[in-house]
Amino acid sequence: MQLFTRLLQRPVQTLQRLTEGRNSRVYRIRCSPSEGYIGKLYFQNPCDSRDRLGVEYQSFVFLHQHQITVVPRPICIDRASACAIYEEVQGRKLAPTEIQNTHVIQCTDFLQNINQLRHLSTSQALPSASEACFSLAQFIANIEQRLERLQGLQSSLPVYQQLRTFLNQQVIPFLQKHAARAATKYEQFGYARTTLLPQQERILSPSDFGFHNALVSDEDQLFFVDFEYFGWDDPVKTIADFLLHPAMLLTEAQKQLFTTVLLSHFEIPTWRLHVLYPLVGIKWIMILLNEFILSDRARREFSLGESEDISLVCAQQLLKSRSLLQSLQTHPYGP
């Protein structure tokens, strides 16, 4: 409470720990019944060079400077304490059963609106999104790097043996098949594996974008939060991430709506989505399996403020990964 009082330069009446954050500690701050803020303490790890604090804060500054106001308004930042304070957004999370086509359209509108800014000179100084990939080679290298981390884990716990079996017998054959297919398709359309997506075809993306990081107001207006990974990215990756995120439970019609609108707006060849979709899906399998990695689990425990049973959590994530792979095998090219 003392930290937030010092940064806001006014007394804090109440401080409530929220549980939404998975990478940060998030607090609801009340200075009066009508004056509320959100405070975030960002996880820091010497092994992770990503500047989540600076990226999120500056992205909100940039968007508000250009009248994009459906994101939190930044109030103050303190790098010494890895802390930032934002104006509280009045809203609640949407339950999956509440998601309507109008909400999907608000998501596509938001992406279109922020990308009206991509031709500004100031936008060129914005960073690449976290783990942005601009060539087929970069997509595959990112997956292989994640795969190597998982394969290198040493543990005698039975769940780790189950992980190794899953990777060797199911994930790797799927990756090899679709990496080879992607290389063939790229060649057919005149692209090398290392050909970079031109700057004019890249978009500004929250990266971790979806209803899991959105609040809805009483007027049914969506507000978008959590921009720790914001920056330049491939629009195909943005679309695929939205469709594949484990926290997203969209109907096939809603997936098709989101995809159709953005493919048309950003003039994306459909073949690129069909080629990259299964690769992005494999990356999401790797992300689900991050709980097996000690450093990644430490970030979760920092945000949650408690330790979890390793075997139980890993078993749950392995189950989710199997389910996602089964879905990819059934629908490998997206909606």
**How do residues 20-73 score in pLDDT, each as one tens digit?**
656 789 999 999 988 999 999 998 777 777 899 999 999 999 999 999 999 999
Q: What pLDDT, on a 0 to 100 scale, did the predictor assign at position 66?
A: 97
Phi-psi region of 194 (alpha: psi -120 to 50; beta: other; left: phi over 0): alpha
pTM higher than 0.95 for the full model? no
Q: Which CATH number fits domain 100-330: 3.40.50, 3.90.1200, 3.30.530, 3.40.720?
A: 3.90.1200
Calculate mean pLDDT across residues 296-323: 76
Q: Are 107 and 212 in contact (CB under 8 A)?
A: no
Spatial separation of the C-alpha atoms in residues 48 and 103, rounded to whole Å:
34
Distance CA 193, CA 238 (A): 20
- Model confidence at 275, pLDDT cuts 50, 70, 90, reads very high
| Count of Cβ atoms closer than 10 Å to residue 40 Cβ | 25
CATH number, domain 7-87, options 3.30.200.20, 3.30.1300.10, 3.40.50.2300, 3.40.190.10: 3.30.200.20
The answer on pLDDT for 305 being more than 60 is no
What is the reported pLDDT for 335?
Answer: 77
